[in-house]
Amino acid sequence: MNPLQKYMTLIQERPDLFINKREEGEIRIITDKERILAEQKKIRAKLKQAGKPSCWIDIGVLAEDEWFYVLRDMVEFPDGRVGGYIRWVNRKSQEGGGFNSVLMCVRGNKVLMVRKFRHEERNWSWEFPRGFGEPGLSAEKNARIELQEEIGVSNAKLTLLTKVKEGKGGTAVFLVEVPEGKKIKLEKGEGLSKYRWVTMSQLERMIKNGQLSDWFSLWAFALAKAQDRVLTF
């Protein structure tokens, strides 16, 4: 089955992924196969004239595994332009109800940072522990599994900062109070190399200096500050 055939099947199986709200300013997904092919033909001609690869306008399910779909939709922009638009769909959340976890771990007056290798960027990133959720488990259960797997902590106090729905699952952000004296044990198989405890003032300097660029971690930090869950020290 080619990418477009898979795509048309997915439209039938998961219409919720292709909803058009018909509101002003919306980027509308074109789901009519004949329209997709007609627009694709016009765009491919322009790509050829510009000396660019025709695959840049391949529409369909470009890749998939148990975690993600990579889709390129044919869309109509608010100004009437038509073109391809790539998106990633988290299957664990959308289909299975898994809750991803973002974990701002604190102990006393310090915040835990882990150094993780991010394959998508081919580089190291200082960030808060986080990970994908397994389907069928609560947000808290997934968070506790992630804590145990990534840093070897099993008896921390969790406070939910927010939970955002995505399909049947979503993403949950927790403030995690790690007990005094609990040793951090990094899971090397997760691409973790180092950890460090930093004060809030050090963390804020990292953010100002661009040393914390992981937006999930920035999100958790902003939520904790907004809810007065952490002190400035």
Domains and CATH numbers, the chain: 3-94 (no CATH), 99-226 (3.90.79.10)
What pLDDT is recorded for position 166? Answer: 82
Q: Which of 157, 160, 174 is nearest to 107 (CA)?
A: 157
Percent of the chain with pLDDT over 90: 82
What pLDDT is recorded for position 33? Answer: 98
User: Per-residue confidence at 231, pLDDT binned at 50, 70, 90?
Assistant: low
pLDDT, one tens digit per residue, over 47-70 is: 999 999 999 999 999 999 988 999
State the pTM of this model: 0.84
pLDDT, one tens digit per residue, over 139-190 is: 999 999 999 999 999 999 999 999 998 878 899 999 999 999 899 999 888 8
